Amino acid sequence: NRLIAALSAVTVVVEARWRSGALNTAHHAETLGRAVGAVPGSVHSANSAGCHRLLRDGGAVCVTDAAEVAELASPSGAALPEQRPGRAQVQDGLTLEDLILLDALPLRSTTSVEKLSAVAGLGVESVRAGLGRLGLLGLAVSERGGWKRGKASA
């Protein structure tokens, strides 16, 4: 437990009973001056008693997501990955239904509205409406009575 605490920049206890190895590691980390975090669980769960004890005694900081863990590793946020602006994708901004429909569209061959409905798990009317929206964006094309992906999504 001492080695784990020494090798880690941050120790996060997710689940620990009142007495546990995780708490032992957290105490070693605290002694070494390392940051310690705890994820609170249900107050009714014995598996969360150790986390609540760490938080109550002030030995740990309450964390609930990965960004908070990264901030513990370097309080200034220097350890956070650099946000790189990505190129806008043609499917950005589509609704979940339209994304599911786009994923169901074949690349080379065409398929019917009924088959798309079955594959996407959407109603026939939803598929028709979605194909209209995707068609306007160039993401779906109609050929020989069937539908496939458009060039814009390739």
Q: Could you report the per-residue pLDDT of 57-69, keeping only the tens digit for each? A: 888 889 988 888 8
Contact, 117 vs 127, CB < 8 A?
yes
Q: In the predicted model, is pLDDT for residue 154 greater than 80?
A: no
Same structural domain, 69 and 100: no
pLDDT per residue over 123-147, tens digit each?
999 999 999 999 999 999 999 889 9
**Total structural domains within the chain:** 2
Answer yes or no: do 68 and 102 share one domain. Answer: no
83 has pLDDT over 80:
no
For residues 31 and 68, state if they share a domain.
yes
Burial class (CB in 10 A: 0-12, 13-18, 19+), 35: buried
Tell me if 84 is assigned to some domain.
no
**Domain span including residue 122:** 96-153
User: pLDDT class for 115, splitting at 50, 70, 90?
Assistant: very high
Judgement on whether residues 54 and 105 belong to the same structural domain of the protein: no
pLDDT above 70 (res 14): yes
- 69 and 101 part of one domain: no
What rounded mean pLDDT belongs to the chain?
A: 86
Asked if residue 83 belongs to a domain, the reply is: no
- Are 69 and 103 found together in one domain? no
CATH number, position 111: 1.10.10.10
Answer yes or no: do 50 and 6 share one domain: yes
Residue 79: inside a domain: no
